[in-house]
Each structure stands twice: as C-alpha cells, then as structure tokens.
Chain A
Amino acid sequence: MSVDVVVSEAELAEMVEQVWVSYLDPEGVSPLIPTYDESQPSEVHSSVSITGSWSGHVVYASSTAAARRAAAAFLAMEMDEVSEADLSDVLGELANIVGGNVKAMLPPGAMLSLPQVVLAPEAATKYPSAERISGLYGTWEGEPVSISMWRSSNDVKQEKTA
C-alpha cells in the first residue's frame, strides 16, 4: 500500500530551479517563469515511473523548441546542431533527474524506472488509474515547459483484488 505523499509545487519548483542553475541557465538569465497554466500545450514529453512506498509518474513536457534549447545547453552546442537522438536523450535525462530528486523526498522503499521519451504531446500518453497531484507550469524563453506528478490510484487495484 502506497502512502499518501504529495510533493508540493514549491518543492518541485526548488528541484527544477537546481536543474536550471546547473545545466540550463548557469548564468541565471533565463529562468523558468511560472504561468500556472495547466492546459498549456506540449509537443514532446518524457517520464519516469516510481513504484513501492509511493506509486506514480513524474512527467516532463515541453515544446520541441524548448527541448532543443535544453539539449543545446546540456551538450554545449548550437540549437541547429541538435539531433533527434540528442533531443530524446536530454528529455530522458531531465525526467530522470527530476524523478530521482522526487524519489529522494519519498519514504524509503520507492524504486525509479528508466525514463520513457515520447516525441509527441503529453496528451498522447495515458497514465491508467493515475491522477495529477501537482505540477509546475511555465515558460522558458517564451516556450512552454512543465513538470507534473501523477499518483497511481491503489484503490482501483484493491477493488480488483477484492
């Protein structure tokens, strides 16, 4: 049975800020600016699943332009040099870093999956029996970026086994 833990938006924001400071915006000139717009569009997304003491998913979604910018920053190259493989790899790593940091805030006994990357809007992936419990929505250099947490519903599993 998973415990009822919520990583707050403020905590998500703190983790994301670390990622920006370390890799995406070391100069501190182009932070992620919150929009609080849960319905903002995305073109690509990545996710990691957490199982054990807490079960759910951590999802990173953005426009293709923002993903390309992230890959260029990660790899220290120009945006037009970024290949699709670079894009996928960086998206996977972003989900992995945020997911790993989320896991560190959960009770002992949580396991993290390898990242899954989908070069399609976030809406293309369904997370069965999971509901969004928190999310950070913003723009980076005018492009949409979001990080959200989805909690799997254990009640559904319990009903099935009852």
Chain B
Amino acid sequence: MKILIADDSRVMRQIVTRTLRQAGFGDHDLVEAADGQEALDKTTAEKPDLVISDWNMPQMTGVDVLRKLRAAGNDVKFGFVTSECTPEMQQQAESAGAAFFIVKPFTADRFDEVLSPILG
C-alpha cells in the first residue's frame, strides 16, 4: 500500500515514518507532503491508499484538504495526527469523513491500534 504523510514539520514526518516502522508498517510505500496544498496535489497525483495528515499546516489545513478531496469524489482513507484535539475538531474531522484521529504525542502502540484495521 502507498501511504502519504502530510505535515509541515520535517521532524514530525520522520517521527511518523519511524513510528509506522515500529508499529510494523514499515514495508509500505511512503510519500511525503510538506503543506496542505502539496497534500492535496500529491493525493490526487500519487493516489495513495491512506493519507496521514497534520491538522494545522500552511496553505491549507488538513481538514480542508480532506473536504476538497471528498468534494472532488476522492474516497481515499484519511486520518489525522495532530497535537490539537478538541471535541469540535474531532466533530469536524468525523463529518468531513476522517477515519481516525491520533493525538501527539503518540506511541507505536497507538499507531498499531488505529492503523491495523486499515492496513491489515
């Protein structure tokens, strides 16, 4: 499977990559995006099977990326990894069609718990 990791922090993209590996998902093909617009463009162009996205990014927030994808008929599995976790954000994510919400800081166990049903 192909996984797109969208986060404006290079460090956080590396940590997500490492945590995926630690959780046993290291064999998947990984693609990175450094802001919301790039996430939207690469999701459209590269057709990943899963998008793991930050919320607060330059150009476009993660939830706006998700809304634009859904508006364009793109049904890719999409979830958030973010330091912000308010009930209103979870509500927005859910109604936009997000599959999961992981809060930073996170552990490999949390990734395993959330992503195993999706990645198998």
Closest to A92 in B: B9
Specify which chain A residues have a CB less than 8 angstroms from the CB of B18 in the assembled complex. Answer: 76
Are A89's CB and B84's CB within 8 A?
no
A162, CB-defined interface residue at 8 Å: no
A100, CB-defined interface residue at 8 Å: yes
Bound complex: CA A21 to CA B82 (Å): 17
If over half of B's interface residues share one DSSP class (helix, strand or loop), that class is named, otherwise mixed; here it is loop
Q: Which of B56, B83, B87, B107 contacts A101 (CB 8 A)?
A: B83
Bound complex: CA A5 to CA B10 (Å): 33
B32, CB-defined interface residue at 8 Å: no
* Binary interface encoding of chain A residues 93-112 relative to chain B, with 1 for a CB under 8 A from any of its CBs, else 0: 10011111101100011101
Closest to A23 in B: B105
* Binary interface encoding of chain B residues 22-64 relative to chain A, with 1 for a CB under 8 A from any of its CBs, else 0: 0000000000000000000000000000000000101000000
Cβ of A115 to closest chain B Cβ, rounded Å: 8
If over half of A's interface residues share one DSSP class (helix, strand or loop), that class is named, otherwise mixed; here it is helix
Are B14's CB and A93's CB within 8 A?
no
Specify which chain A residues have a CB less than 8 angstroms from the CB of B103 in the assembled complex. Answer: 100-101, 104
A108-B88 contact given A96-B83, A100-B82, CB 8 Å threshold: yes
Bound complex: CA A93 to CA B82 (Å): 11
Number of CB contacts from chain A to chain B under 8 A: 61
* Binary interface encoding of chain B residues 88-107 relative to chain A, with 1 for a CB under 8 A from any of its CBs, else 0: 10000000000000011111
Closest to B86 in A: A104
Specify which chain A residues have a CB less than 8 angstroms from the CB of B9 in the assembled complex. Answer: 89, 92-93, 96
Bound complex: CA A19 to CA B82 (Å): 13
B119, CB-defined interface residue at 8 Å: no
Closest to B82 in A: A100
Q: Which of B14, B83, B87, B107 contacts A97 (CB 8 A)?
A: B83
Cβ of A89 to closest chain B Cβ, rounded Å: 4
The 8 closest A-B pairs by CB, nearest first: A100-B83, A22-B105, A100-B84, A89-B11, A97-B83, A93-B9, A97-B104, A104-B85
Chain A residues packing against B (C-beta within 8 Å): 18-19, 21-23, 71, 74-76, 85-86, 89-90, 92-93, 96-101, 103-104, 108-110, 112, 114
Chain B residues packing against A (C-beta within 8 Å): 8-12, 14-15, 18, 56, 58, 82-88, 103-107
Q: List 5 A-B contacts (CB under 8 A).
A: A21-B105, A23-B105, A71-B11, A99-B83, A112-B56
